Amino acid sequence: MKRVLVVEDNANNMRLLLKLLGGSGYETIKAETGEEGVRLAIEEMPDHILMDIKLPGIDGVEATGRIRASVGGSKAVIIAITSYAMAEDRERFLSQGFDGYIEKPIDPYTIVKEIEEYARNTDDPRSG
Ligand code: MN
């Protein structure tokens, strides 16, 4: 069973993500701050991480940088989940250690597929 760490401070989004991922057969781990997300990424070594950007304390970009710099968390597929909608932000996130980018509001009908698409692309050895 694949394990997903969800780092999200909005209770409604967290509840929705845990429900959708759990319903699709994922084991879920939750963190409500960037610091907690970094700690759990290193301790639990999840397969995937969904990372909100606006968080109390360190933001999702800083948290992702710390996870990438760690030994245990560096191989996770990390996907930014944020309401920043501009194309230039997408490029910025991809250059800052994220493997993908999903825009809010969360679409319950497509989000799990989007996560799996990014995971497949990242696992593909041809993609380097
Ligand atoms: Mn937030």
- Map out the domains of the chain with their CATH numbers: 3-122 (3.40.50.2300)
* pLDDT band for position 127 (cuts 50, 70, 90): very low
CA of 41 to the centre of ligand 1 (A): 18
CA of 10 to the centre of ligand 1 (A): 6
pLDDT score at 128 = 44
CB-based contact 29:37 (threshold 8 Å)? no
pLDDT score at 68 = 94
CA of 54 to the centre of ligand 1 (A): 4
For the segment 43-65, what is each residue's pLDDT rounded down to a tens digit?
999 999 999 999 999 999 999 99
For the segment 8-44, what is each residue's pLDDT rounded down to a tens digit?
999 999 999 999 999 999 999 999 999 999 999 999 9
What angle (nearest 5°) sits at the alpha carbon of residue 83, between those of residues 40 and 119?
Answer: 50
CA of 120 to the centre of ligand 1 (A): 26
pLDDT at residue 115 above 90?
A: yes
pLDDT at residue 125 above 80?
A: no
For the segment 75-91, what is each residue's pLDDT rounded down to a tens digit?
899 999 988 666 677 78
Range 37-43 contact pairs with CB under 8 angstroms and sequence separation of 24 or more: 37/5, 37/7, 37/63, 37/67, 38/63, 38/66, 38/67, 38/70, 38/73, 40/5, 41/5, 41/67, 41/70, 41/72, 41/73, 41/76, 42/67, 42/70, 42/71, 42/72, 42/73, 43/72
CA of 53 to the centre of ligand 1 (A): 6
CA of 59 to the centre of ligand 1 (A): 9
Model confidence, pTM:
0.91
CA of 69 to the centre of ligand 1 (A): 23
Kind and range of the H or E element at 40? helix 34-44
pLDDT at residue 5 above 90?
A: yes
* pLDDT band for position 92 (cuts 50, 70, 90): confident
